[in-house]
Amino acid sequence: MAPPLLHLQNVSLTLGGAPLLSDAELAVEPGDRLCLVGRNGSGKSTLLKIAAGALEADGGTRFLQPGVSIRYLPQEPDFSGFGDILSYVEAGLGSTDDRHRARYLLERLGMTGAEDPGRLSGGESRRAALARTLAPDPDILLLDEPTNHLDLPAIEWLEDELRQARGALVLVSHDRRFLQNLSRATVWLDRGATRRLDRGFGEFEAWRDKLLEEEEAAAHKLGRKIAAEEHWVRYGVSGRRKRNMRRMGELAELRRRKREARRPDGEAKLVVSEAQTSGRLVIDAESLSKSFDGRPIVRELSLRVLRGDRLGLVGANGAGKTTLINLLTGALSPDSGRVRLGANVAMATLDQNRAALDPNDTLARFLTGGGDWVEIAGQRKHVVGYMQDFLFKPEQARTPVSRLSGGERARLMLARALALPSNFLVLDEPTNDLDLETLDLVEDLLADYPGTVLVVSHDRDFLDRVATSVLVAEGGGNWIEYAGGYSDMVAQRGAGVGARAPEPQADVRPKAEPKQRSEPKQKRKLSFNEQRALETLPAEMDRLRAVRDRAQAILADPDLFARDPKRFEQASAALSGAEADLVAAEDRWLELEMLREEMQG
């Protein structure tokens, strides 16, 4: 049997005094399609660097067949020394490689090659690094998070390109759909060691869960055996007045095995702080338009988001997804049209750029604002305990944000967003840098969340699991809403986001003979009172909002109750009454408006 192209055996590595890899193995055969999976911090990127020869392990062996070429895609490419992107990509080519392929890949990735490396966005950096890695057509491709910062059209193009690749692939990615579509074998890096499944990622999670259940059963059995031996130590030895050294040695060995038993890392525990229920109508947008420098981002968009909806926004980078979120949430004013938020909307946001993160802040200060407690779902919790729910260690409480990895920053932002009382979550790229296990928990949380969710994501699997409808950028500022998740949208639209929706074909079937038309049924019309209510309710809702805002301003005085209890009670009653009346008015207006549209339609 021929040796593999690349083989790592018994690889070990210690970083910062703690063992990261202890018994890792990776074998790459010709034509392999491997995915390397594991939690954030488990050592996937480190193992890939060792495989690429960019990092030397403390122990173990690395074998690479003579003449085999490897190209490695790092998470953070180094552009130093290059005046433009084309020269950076061409520098990765060998003497026999096709020079035209560099320009072809850059063009397909939406770049000219003349871009300044010092002024690239995250997505442009990733595209340039991909072009340099793919251009030589190597025997082995080692790709570390190739889909990070890519939009959906680029991800779908990359999938097609990698399917046609001649060489073997080793992929590290948190994009489930990407791994399912490309992998044929899975290597699980868990607690320093690797285990291999000779099937694709689609079957990995069931296999992993079965292994963990078997481990748990074995640990339980070992615990019972230790308890029995300890009972003998306490009562059997003293009863015979003689030590059985062999059994004492066996007990010591059992205890050692239990100490050294490899246990799964802790699981994140995600709990969202819920605010009071919002009105039935959360967002009402009518004829919304916005342009920048003459380029339309949103054109004549009318949209209603109701309580409990999970609306996903998808489109290419630059299509205006973040702009549209800002318009829908009132953070940005439209050029024309209007947006109205419903009653009692309490919003919590997750920013894809991590703009709220101060690199000099500590984790504890960022989560609490300077105290030691976080209030979650109406209960106070110490910040260290809350950090541990998101897989942070207690000693990290005073760690500056600047020292966190990308995955840790993503978890920290998620912890902050979920700590805020809300009934409306606005999530801009929430899946960036999160490992698969944490993604599972986020999906479960959103499934049980009683409020409304507005989410921007390039993760197709995440959208399929979370979204109840998808709003797609069709170009030219036009947006169309489709029921269901991403796959449902593709089925209805006839194409993914990377392509325009096909034009409906003309009906070429022969027309049937016209039938004698019966008199149409008389459509119901709005009554005078209904029409009057539809016209007057918007002004009434504005009045109730003003009453609510005045009451809230009065109650904002912390000394009011002690100084003037009667006024405090009056303001509280006014606030409660205005909020209840506003919810009822919005629900009635929405009911009448939907009835009017149904009649006109």
The 10s digit of each residue's pLDDT in 219-231 is 766 666 666 655 5
What's the confidence (pLDDT) of residue 551? 86
Position 148 pLDDT exceeds 90: no
Mean pLDDT score across all residues of the chain? 82
Distance between the two ends of the chain, CA-based, in angstroms? 70
What's the confidence (pLDDT) of residue 339? 92
Contact 353, 159 (CB under 8 A): no
Position 550 pLDDT exceeds 50: yes
What's the confidence (pLDDT) of residue 209? 86
What's the confidence (pLDDT) of residue 565? 83
Mean per-residue pLDDT for 128-141? 94
Position 240 pLDDT exceeds 80: no
What's the confidence (pLDDT) of residue 12? 95
Mean per-residue pLDDT for 567-571? 85
Look up residue 179 and give its two tokens: 């791994």
Side-chain half-sphere exposure of 343, counting CA atoms within 13 A: 29
Read off the pLDDT band of 514 (50, 70, 90): very low
Position 163 pLDDT exceeds 90: yes
* Distances, alpha carbon 416 to alpha carbons 97, 221, 271, 406, in Å: 49, 40, 11, 16
**CA dihedral of 195, 439, 150, 183, whole degrees rounded to 10:** 30
Which of 29-33, 408-412, 489-493, 517-521 has the lowest average pLDDT?
A: 517-521
H-helix or E-strand spanning residue 226: helix 204-231
String of b and e for 401-432 (b: at least 16 CB within 10 Å)? beebebbbbbbbbbbbbbbeebbbbbbbbbbb
Q: Could you tell me the fold of the domain covering 528-600?
A: Helix Hairpins (1.10.287)
Cα–Cα distance for residue pair 475/467, rounded to 1 Å? 22
Nearest to 244 by CA among 232, 227, 231: 232
User: Residues of the chain with pLDDT > 70: what percent?
Assistant: 84
Q: What's this model's pTM, rounded to 2 decimal places? A: 0.72
Cα–Cα distance for residue pair 130/148, rounded to 1 Å? 11
The 10s digit of each residue's pLDDT in 98-122 is 889 999 999 999 899 999 998 888 7
* Distances, alpha carbon 324 to alpha carbons 296, 298, 306, 453, in Å: 12, 7, 17, 14
The 10s digit of each residue's pLDDT in 36-52 is 999 877 889 999 999 99
Position 486 pLDDT exceeds 80: yes
Mean per-residue pLDDT for 496-506? 55
The 10s digit of each residue's pLDDT in 305-360 is 988 899 999 998 888 998 999 999 999 999 999 998 888 888 888 776 565 678 88
Contact 555, 573 (CB under 8 A): no
The number of beta carbons lying within 10 Å of the beta carbon of residue 177 is: 22
Cα–Cα distance for residue pair 448/470, rounded to 1 Å? 19
What's the confidence (pLDDT) of residue 237? 44
Mean per-residue pLDDT for 157-162? 94
Of the two residues 243 and 209, the one the predictor is more confident about is 209
Position 544 pLDDT exceeds 70: yes
Read off the pLDDT band of 518 (50, 70, 90): very low
Position 503 pLDDT exceeds 60: no
Which of 157-161, 222-226, 382-386, 596-600 has the lowest average pLDDT?
A: 222-226
Q: Could you tell me the fold of the domain covering 6-206?
A: Rossmann fold (3.40.50)
Position 377 pLDDT exceeds 70: no
Cα–Cα distance for residue pair 418/410, rounded to 1 Å? 12
Of the two residues 233 and 88, the one the predictor is more confident about is 88
Amino acid at 239: G
Mean per-residue pLDDT for 412-424? 82
Position 449 pLDDT exceeds 50: yes
In terms of CATH architecture, what is 281-493? 3-Layer(aba) Sandwich (3.40)
